[in-house]
Amino acid sequence: MTTHAERDAEAAAPRSLPPRRKKKTGFAAKYNKREAIAGYLFIAPWVIGFLVFTLGAMIYSLVISFSNYNLARNTATPVGFANYERLFEDPKVALALGNTLVYALMAVPLEVAFALFLAMLLARVGKGAGFFRTVYYLPKMTPTVATASVFLLLLNGNTGAINRGLSVIGIEGPQWLVDPAWVKPSIVLMTLWTVSGTMVIFLAALKNVPRDLYEVASLDGAGPVRQFFTITVPMISSAIFFNVIVLTIAAFQIFDQAYLLFWRDQSNSSPESSLFYAVYLFQQAFRQFNFGFAAAMAWLLFMIIMLITFIQMKFGNRFVYYEGDDR
């Protein structure tokens, strides 16, 4: 308040003193011109890339989505909202969207729970944690094609190792890759095997929880379950929140695993329950060359992801605890 008052007083005071050195105003007061120019030059690569490969590309894609651009025939005429109307008419769009949604609902909670469980195991080892962390992280380093090629064997309904393992404990395993009901769990299983990236984020968060909180809680008689829900979960809530958002965005774009296990071979028919949104988009764009329709599909996906992320953020901010709350 005083600064305002002072400024007002200064402005009101008659300037009878000899003229001072010219006061810097606006840009000159805040920035050094040479430094600002240098700063812009340093960030220029990103600005150019953004204008061409992000903003330009998005505008281009929006324009295409209102045309019947076909790459093979190289024709494009504006068609208004026809591609967007087709999104609602094409039953495969709804099918692919439903498959993707179901997959995300299965995969994201399981990934978060499994990764957190593993992180809590690792957080309890002193020496040797590095060794186990390495072992758990190796699947993440494995290229997805290699993972898929070996899971194709492991998931084989008749001879695969997974069903053989299940038969040991008396369960007759399903036809993972053939039975439409088990297609998504197959992919979830593969994703869970490579969950260690999420685990490392949880581990870093767990290490930052002050130990004395647990000591106080156990003195007050809180058991391990109670401590988990009243201390661990709130204290690492920002990591949980981050992982949920990132994994959801990834789940909505699942492509590689589904392509490799089911859609790689075009001569073969695959269960419809394995047709994920990104796979159908890819087929429309790069197999049928319907770029206009594919662009509309991409925009629908974009809207859905933005909407879900927005909802998650809205809900998330209610329970996320930020350390020191100074951000």
Partner 1 sequence: MSVTESSSEALKLRGQVIGEQAVTGPPPRQNLPSRKPDRWYKPKSVIGKIFLWIGLIGFSLLFMYPFVWLLAASLKPRGQVFDNALWPRTLVPENYVEVWNQLPLISWMFNSIAIALLAATAVAVSSSVVAFGFAYFKFPARNLLFGLVLATMMLPGAVTMLPQYLIWKELGLIGTWAPLWGANLFGSAFYIFLQRQFFLGLPRELFEAARIDGASYWGLFRRIAMPLSIPSFIIVFVFEFQASWNNLQAALIYLNAGSVEGFTAPLGIAYAMTKYSPTAGGQGDYQYVMVASLLITIPMLLIFAFGQRYFIEGVATQGRKG
Site for partner 1 in 176-235 (CB under 8 A): 193, 197, 200-208, 210-211, 214
Instruction: Give min distance, CB of 327 to partner 1, in A.
Output: 9
Q: For the window 79-108, what string marks contact with partner 1 as x by the rule CB under 8 A? A: ------------------------------
Stretch that binds partner 1, among 6-14, 57-65, 78-86, 104-112 (CB under 8 A): 57-65
Candidate ranges 5-13, 14-22, 82-90, 135-143; the one touching partner 1 (CB under 8 A): 135-143
Count of positions on this chain that bind partner 1 (CB under 8 A):
111
Is 1 near partner 1 (CB under 8 A)?
A: no
124 in contact with partner 1 (CB under 8 A): yes
Q: Does 40 interact with partner 1 (rule: CB under 8 A)?
A: yes
How far apart, in Å, are the Cα atoms of 134 and each of 116, 131, 156, 194, 197?
A: 16, 5, 28, 13, 11
**Chain position carrying tokens 């997959």:** 103
Which one of 6, 28, 31, 171 is in contact with partner 1 (CB under 8 A)? 31
> How close are the terminal C-alpha atoms of the chain, in Å?
25
Retrieve residue 144's tokens: 């997805």
Asked whether position 164 contacts partner 1 by CB under 8 A, the answer is yes
Question: For partner 1, which is the closer residue by CB, 6 or 311?
Answer: 311
Separation CA 178–CA 271 (nearest Å): 7
Secondary structure (DSSP) of 219-271 = HTT--HHHHIIIIIHHHTHHHHHHHHHHHHHHHHT--HHHIIIIIS-TTS---
Question: What x/- string results for residues 144 through 163 when contact with partner 1 is judged by CB under 8 A?
Answer: xxxxxxxxxxx-x--xxx--
289 binds partner 1 (CB under 8 A): no
Q: Determine the interface stretch with partner 1 among 7-15, 51-59, 87-95, 101-109 (rule: CB under 8 A).
A: 51-59
DSSP for 85-143, written as a single string: HHHHH-HHHHHHHHHHHHHHHHHHHHHHHHHHHHHHHHHT-STTHHHHHHHHHHHHHS-
